[in-house]
Amino acid sequence: MGLLDKLSAWLGLRKTEVNVLCLGLDNSGKTTIINQLKPTNAHHEDIVPTIGFNIEKFKSSSLSFTVFDMSGQSRYRNLWEHYYKDSHAIIFVIDSGDKLRMVVAKEELDTLLNHQDIKDRRMPVLFFANKTDLKDAVSSVKVSQQLCLENIRDKPWHICASDAIKGEGLQEGVDWLQDHIRTAMIDDSVNA
């Protein structure tokens, strides 16, 4: 990227393209969240479990997102690491009503954060504590405690309570993610 390209991207004259991984256990709501973030005319009517991964695109005010919606089924989670290097950020979705698998979500998160392609990068991580509309759902604060998010000190992170079906909490998360991706990209170009 040349100096003029960088300047126009920083000034918001051109949308910067970024790659984002959307991760989490199966049935946490990853695909539903990504579907809600796409333009209304691009929404899918029927959401089915992701096998392998799907690639989706959407735009915010200054970024053009390419999202790798990765399957959360245990037999496909080993695919996640093949996409770490080329990603600018991670969206990690947790089913806040699935208390039994919160430990599994924490184990997968710990494995992710300790991977050689992630651990030394200041990659922003957005957490969606999804399905807050469920009767037995725990709060985003409780999800944060159960996942020990306070121990993440080397990466910017944020957690949002969300209801993917209604789209609640999603824009707040995307706004945070957009700001932190842009900051990380500016820092990377200054340090390069």
**Domain coordinates of the chain in residue numbers?**
13-184
What tens digit of pLDDT does each residue of 147-187 get? 999 999 999 999 999 999 999 999 999 999 999 998 877 66
The highest-level CATH class for domain 13-184 is alpha beta
SS3 call for 43: coil
Question: pLDDT at position 192, please?
Answer: 53
Q: How far apart are CA 7 and CA 67, in angstroms?
A: 25
Catalytic residue status for 73 = yes
Of 36, 73, 145, 146, the catalytic one is 73
Q: What value does the mean pLDDT take over residues 129-148?
A: 95
Question: Which pLDDT score, from 0 to 100, does residue 155 have?
Answer: 95
Tens of pLDDT along 83-130? 899 999 999 999 999 999 999 999 999 999 999 999 999 999 999 999
28-42 pLDDT, tens digit each = 999 999 989 876 665
Instruction: Find residue 23's DSSP bridge partners.
Output: 92
**What is the distance between the alpha carbons of residues 191 and 169, in angstroms, rounded to a whole number?**
33
